[in-house]
Amino acid sequence: MGIKVLTSNYRISLSQVKYVIVLLFKKVIATLYRTLVGSLIYLTVVCSDITFVLQLVSQFMVAPRSTDYAIALRISSLSKSDYARSEKQTLASRSSTESEYHALWLT
């Protein structure tokens, strides 16, 4: 369990500092992971090409590891670059015929 026994002249003390630090680190990683994956899921409204990968990554929400967090960060960096490159739609068509006309007009 990581109990450390410290002795001095007249007393003995037990410490679990290392164990508590490991538990806190795991809790922080889990919270950051859940927040990041939740934000990425919200981003799929605009950037739908990451949906499949997020479905795989979100399976580890209960007990994420630091490698899962690193993967989610990588997905985040990729989706940011994709989102920055995407452009707003300049033209909205009311029908498929109209959209085909616009596509021919633009080429």
Q: Which two tokens stand for residue 69?
A: 């967090």
DSSP lists the bridge partners of residue 13 as 6
Please determine, for residue 22, whether its predicted confidence score (pLDDT) is greater than 80: yes
Question: Span 28-37, mean pLDDT?
Answer: 90
CB 1 within 8 A of CB 20: no
Q: How confident is the model at residue 87 (pLDDT cuts 50, 70, 90)?
A: low
Residue 92: its pLDDT value, please?
62
Shortest CA distance to 103 belongs to which of 89, 86, 82, 87? 89
Question: Span 56-78, mean pLDDT?
Answer: 86
Please determine, for residue 84, whether its predicted confidence score (pLDDT) is greater than 60: no
Shortest CA distance to 40 belongs to which of 57, 22, 27, 25? 57
Q: How confident is the model at residue 35 (pLDDT cuts 50, 70, 90)?
A: very high
Q: Which residues contact 29 (CB under 8 A, 6 or more apart)?
A: 64, 65, 66, 69
Give, rounded to a whole angstrom, the gap between the first and last alpha carbons of the chain.
69
Query: What does the mean pLDDT of the chain come to?
Result: 79
Question: Span 53-81, mean pLDDT?
Answer: 84
Please determine, for residue 67, whether its predicted confidence score (pLDDT) is greater than 60: yes
